[in-house]
Each structure stands twice: as C-alpha cells, then as structure tokens.
Structure 1
Amino acid sequence: MIIDESLVFAIAIIIFALIIVLKGVRIVPQSDLYIVERLGKFNKVLHGGFHLIIPVVDSIRNVLTSREQLVDIEKQSVITKDNVNISIDGIVFCKVDDAQEATYNVVDFKNAIANLAMTTLRSEIGGMDLDDTLSNRETLNAKLQSELGSAAANWGIKVTRVEISDISVPAEIERAMNMQMEAEREKRAIETKARADKEAVIRKAEGFRQEEFLKAEAIERMADAKRYEQEQVAAGQMEAMRLINESMSYNKDGAEFLLAKDRVAAFKSLAESPSNDKMILPYDVTQMIGSTSVLGDAFFKGVSNENTNNA
C-alpha cells in the first residue's frame, strides 16, 4: 500500500500543532504560583486558573505556593551571656509574598531563612542571661520575628511567626535551678506566713481597740440616758410639787387628801401581801396606840429621873 506523502505531511503538521497547543495551555492550581520566563527573561506570574502561554518562547521557570510554610530551625548549642551552654531549636512560619523576588533574589529562601534564624538566635541569646532566656521566651520570639522579617522582606517572603520550641540546659544546671526554685518557694512561704501573722496581730489589735471604743461609747450613751432620765424625773417632780403647792394655796385640805391617798395605797399593798405575820388596824387605832406609846415613854422617863434624884 502506497501512502501519499502529502497526507503524511498533513498528519505531521496536525500532530505538531496539537503539541504546540498543549504546550501553550497551563492550568494552575488555586494555591500555586507559576513564574513564566520569555526567552530567558521574567515575563509574568500565573495565579490559579486557566492560562495560555507561547510554546517554545515562554517557559515555566519556577513553581511556588502561596500557602504558609514551615522552616525548621535545627537544634544547636548556644552560649548565654552568663556562659551557660544550652541547646535550642524552633520553627519559622512564613509565606511567599512576592513570587518574582522569591525566585530571583535568593537561591533557596527556606535554607536562607533557616541559616539566618540560627545566626540571629545565637546573637540574641548571647546577650541574655539564662534566667531571661527561659522566662522571656515571648520576647525572644518577637525579636527573632522582627529580625527575620526585615531580611526576608528583600526575598519576597513574609515571616508570620517564630516559635522557640525547646530549650535544654545541662543536667547539673537543671539540678541547681531546681534547688534554687525550691529555696525560693520556701522563702516565699516564710514571707507569706510572716505577713499573715503580722496582719493577724494588726487585725486583733484593731478589733480590741474597736471593742473598747464601742464599750466606752455604750457607757457614755447609758450615762447620758440615765442623766436625761434623772433630769426628766426631777423636772416632773418639780412640776408636781409646783402644782401641789399651787393647789394647796386654794384648798388647805389638799395635803390631807394626798396623805390619805398614800395611806390607802400602803394598806392595800399590805393587805395583798401573802405574808401571815401581819395585823391591819384602823387608822384611828394606830393614832391612839401612837399617843399611848408616847405617854408611856414620858411616864417611864419621869419615874426614872425621880429615882435618880432620890439616890
């Protein structure tokens, strides 16, 4: 079977055209960034979606991702300001902010960030004491992020966060630190107890003073109340005497009425008494008995004086 040369040439042209078309079509995933060069020179950055490029003339120089990436800081030995050798490692979180600069301004931005982080870490910890290094981890993270962010900005990389994941100290230093912490806790406990005892003494003295003050105030108020009561009673008695005197000036029998009233009240109280050793006599009888007793006393007194004179 003889194949026509023109047909073969046409098929070859069609296949070549298909290859050229396929080479010119680029479908970029959403989070990827394609760096396109035209004849060896930067042309543009392809973001997620469907794109067409010129085959042979255009080529894909680099593929980056816009997602946040992790750069591990390998564990390394660092000497603090007070000459303590510690081991430290960490993680740097970053993302591509400018794909062109990340491609052309640095060979490998991850490796560059890792090495820069180790250098910066040595420099920062070298100016800090061990206690500051262990207690001010947040400050150290902020300083590292600031230093790395300034340098990585020239590479089109944004440093979003830096975390110191582990700080290890030698065993003998750890034992000394534990002893120091225990001594510090005991010291704080003693100081707290001393403050509590002092506060208790102060509160007790304050309570006693307040109690005595309240007692004195109560005594003073009771005295005032008693004085007021006496003044009111005296005023009432004085007013009663004034009224009695005023009444007696108009009626001379008023005094007899008052005495009779008091005698009636006294006899009533005596009569209501449960005692059996009592005898109630009329008022006239008592007057007679009184008069008789007076005459008897006078008689016996006269007899006694006469016997004395005769002797």
Structure 2
Amino acid sequence: MTEIIALVLLIVAVIFVIQSVKVVPQQNAWVVERLGRYHATLTPGLNILVPFIDRLAYKHSLKEIPLDVPSQVCITKDNTQLTVDGILYFQVTDPMRASYGSSNYILAITQLAQTTLRSIVGRMELDKTFEERDLINSSVVQALDEAALNWGVKVLRYEIKDLTPPPAILHAMQAQITAEREKRALIAASEGRRQEQINIATGEREAAIARSEGDKQAEINKAQGEAAAITSVAEATAAAIRQIAAAIEQPGGQQAVQLKVAEKAVDAYAQLAQKNNTMIVPGNMSEVSGLIGTAMALMKGSGKTPG
C-alpha cells in the first residue's frame, strides 16, 4: 500500500513539474491565462507556472512571417480587369493583442490586404498600375499597418508578385509595344541617313575648301617662282652688262667691240641672203663702217653716263 501511495505521489510530482516549469524558445512569446483571464506573457527562457491554475492559452512566433495573399480580380479606373496577387510580410509585436484583438489576425490581414488593393487599383488606369508598383505597395502597407495595431501585428511590407491583364489586353499591349519599337527603328534609320548626308556634304565642302586653298597656294608659289626667276634673269643681265662695260674700258676693248659689231652686221646680211632669193648687198660699204661707228658712239655715250 505504501508503495502505491509513493508511486502516486511521484506521478503527481512529475505532473506538477511538467505543469509548472515552461521553457520558452528564442523569438517566441507565450500567453498565460489564470483562471480564464489574461495573466502574463512568458519571455524566452525558464518560466514557472502555478499548476492547474495557470494555462498556456496562445503561442506566438515573433519572427517575420511571409503571408501569401491570394490572387484576385481588380477593376481599374478605365474599366479593365486586372488579376493581382502579392505577398505580405508581418511580425507579431504585441502577443496579448494578437491573442485577444482578433479571433484570426492572419485572415483579417489577408482580407484587408485584398480590399485595400482593390481600392487602390480602382483609382488608377491600367498603364499606371504597371508604372506605380512601389506606390501601390506602400499604400497597402500604410493602410494595413494602421488597422493591424489593434491586432498586435506590425505589417512590414507588401510586394506585388504579378499583374495579369486579360489576354485581349495583353495582345493589344504587345501590338502597341511592337509598333512603338518599329517607330523608334524608323526614326533611328532616318536620323542615320540624315546624319550621313550631313557628313557627306560637310566632307565635300571641306574637300572643296582644301582644294581651293591648295590651288591658291600653288598659284602663289608659281607667281613667287616666276618673280624670283625674272629677278634672277634681270640681275644676271645687269651683271653681264656691267662686265661688258668694264671690258670695253680695258685696252683694246673698243676695237673688240667694233669687230664684234661688224661680225653681227655681216651675219645679219648673210641671214637675209639665206632667207630671200634676192641677194642684198649694201650699195656703199661705207654704210657698214658708219653703222659700226654709230654703235660705238652709243656705247661710249652710255659708258660716260654717270652710274
């Protein structure tokens, strides 16, 4: 009998320990009710309860929780159906309110996210819904965060996973995109041709300018060369004349000049005789000597002219 009592006491002690000692894991919070009323929130670690009086009513994870929001059909401002689905991230911040603020805060958040999304999309046109995803996400988070305070939940962010218009709208959008790309391609091609013509005209103009500059420089160089040649010839002629004049002033120079002039006169008459059938002979040979004397007088006069 004693052994039975001892066994019963041992069983009661084990049950007492199991009921009274609770170890809460990290990032968890357990809500305790005492005689049916909220009593305390157990934090991570070792906690002691009163057996048969305290009861673990709720267990909450304090980690960030992703919640898939089911897809739904929304009507845009321009009366276009749009299938939208997304994902919501939330975190329990007040275990007591999460336990007693709503019978099912996950369902409440899901339903509120859907209704808020329908309201926001309904104020936008179809094209804007694709452009303003960030605005839609932030608007949903703001609306949910205000309502979720009473549920002990903090809505961290909302992300749209997909926006799907009807097939006919998709086809029209694809056709519009194709037309827009073809338009840009044509514009780019025309701009290329225009730039090509501009480049060709610019090149021809620059080439013509370069040719004209080259011709101009060539004419200048030619003129300068001819001027230099004329100057050189004139200087050489002047030098030759000066040398001849100096030679005439030397002894025997006059006689040499007379002889040279006489030779030139005879050569001249000889040339005339070769070019004509009629022989031209001076009527008086004294004319030749007179011609020579006149040339010598001119040379003497030029020699006496002050230099």
Contact 2:29 2:41 in 1 (8 A): no
2:305 paired residue number: none
- 2:172 maps to a residue whose letter is A
Structure 1 pair 28/239, CA: closer, same or farther in 2 (3 Å)? farther
Give the Cα–Cα distance (whole angstroms) in 2 for the partners of residues 153 and 122 of structure 1: 22
Counterparts in 2 of 1:102 and 1:224: CA distance versus 1, 3 Å? farther
The answer as to 2:130 corresponding to 1:151 is no
Partner SS state of residue 157, structure 2: strand
2:162 corresponds in structure 1 to 166
CA distances 1:153-198 after superposition (whole Å, capped 9, x unpaired): 4433233332222333223333333333333333233222222222
After superposition, residues 206-217 of structure 1 pair within 5 angstroms as 206-217=202-213
Over aligned residues, Cα RMSD in angstroms? 3.9
| Residue number in structure 2 paired with 1:197 | 193
The CA deviation at 1:125 is: 0.8
Distance in 1, matches of 2:110 and 2:265, equals: 135
Deviations 1:233-267 (CA, angstroms, capped at 9, x unpaired): 3798499679959x959x924999xxxxxxxxxxx
- Corresponding residue for residue 43 of structure 1: 40
Aligned to 2:176: 180
Structure-2 residue corresponding to 1:15: 11
CA positional deviation for 1:289? 7.2
Structure 2: distance between partners of 1:79 and 1:218: 75
Do structure 1's residue 112 and structure 2's residue 108 form an aligned pair?
yes
Aligned length: 267
Q: Distance in 1 between matches of 2:55 and 2:223?
A: 115
Normalized against structure 1, the TM-score is what? Answer: 0.69
Q: Is the contact made by 2:86 and 2:160 (CA closer than 8 Å) also made in structure 1? A: yes
- Read off the aligned partner of 1:165 and give its amino acid letter: K
1:183/1:243 CA distance change after superposition, 3 Å: same
- Alignment-derived partner of residue 274 in structure 1: none
> Shift in Å at residue 67 of structure 1?
2.5
Moved more, 93-102 or 20-29: 93-102
Structure 1 distance, partners of 2:249, 2:203, is: 59
Provide Cα deviations, 1:2-52, integer angstroms capped at 9, x if missing partner: x35xx75555444333322221111223343222334422423322x3333
Query: What is the percent sequence identity of the aligned residues?
Result: 29
Q: Find the partner of 2:280 among 294, 297, 301.
A: 301
Structure 1: gaps (5+ residues): 257-285, 305-311
Offset from partner CA, 1:273-296 (integer Å, 9 cap, x none): xxxxxxxxxxxxx99975542343
* Normalised TM-score (structure 2): 0.69
Give 1:252's match in structure 2, choosing from 223, 230, 246.
246
The change in CA–CA distance for 1:203 and 1:37 in structure 2 (over 3 A counts) is: farther
Task: Report the Cα distance in structure 1 between the residues aligned to 2:99 and 2:182, rounded to whole angstroms.
Answer: 58
Q: Residue 243 and residue 191 in structure 1: after superposition, are their counterparts in 2 closer, same or farther (change >3 A)? A: same
**1: CA distance between counterparts of 2:15 and 2:143?**
49
Cα deviation code 1:93-128 (max 9, x no counterpart): 222233333223332221111111111111111011
Alpha-carbon distance in 2 for matches of 1:161, 1:42: 32
Query: Take 2:110 and 2:150, find their aligned partners in 1: how far apart are those partners?
Result: 15
Change in 2 beyond 3 A, CA 1:178/1:99: same
Question: Aligned with 1:252: secondary structure?
Answer: helix
